Amino acid sequence: MTQGKIRDFSDLHVWQSAHQMVMETYSLTARFPKEELYGLTSQMRRAAVSVPANIAEGFARLGKNEKLNFYNIAQGSLAELSYFLILARDLRYIPDTTNQFENCKHTAKMLQSLMDKIRASR
C-alpha cells in the first residue's frame, strides 16, 4: 500500500495480514491427512477466510457500530483459528515452529487497534 488515503478494504494493513494468514492456512492444511478434509481442514479454512471477509464487510459499512460488529466477528474467527492451530499442533499435523501462531496474534493486535481507533473517533 502506498502512503495516503485508504480507499478500499484491501488497503488496510490488517486486511492484508489476514489475507496472508488465509493463504498460509490453505498451505498448512493441504498437508493434513485426507480424513481431515471435512473436519479440521474445512474448519480451519472457514475460520481463516472469515477474518478478512468480515474486515472487508465491516469496512463497507457506514455506521460505527456496524463496522465494530463485523470487526468483532473477525476477532471471534481469529480466536477460533487460534484454537484450531493448537489442536493441529497437538495432533502433530503442524510443527510447533509454524509462524501461524504469531501471525494470528499480530493480526488480532492490528484488528484491536483499528477497533480502538473507530471507538475513539467521533
**72-85: pLDDT as tens digits:** 999 999 999 999 99
- Is 57:97 a contact under the CB 8 Å cutoff? no
At position 58, the amino acid (one-letter code) is G
Statement: residue 15 has pLDDT above 50: yes
Mapping DSSP to helix (H, G, I), strand (E, B) and coil, where does residue 44 land? helix
pLDDT of residue 33: 96
Instruction: Supply the pTM of this predicted model.
Output: 0.92
Cα-based distances in Å from 44 to 6, 61, 87: 29, 26, 10
Domains located in the chain, CATH noted: 10-120 (1.20.1440.60)
85 in Cβ contact with 25 (< 8 Å): no
Taking only the tens place, the pLDDT of each residue in 29-49 is: 999 999 999 999 999 999 999
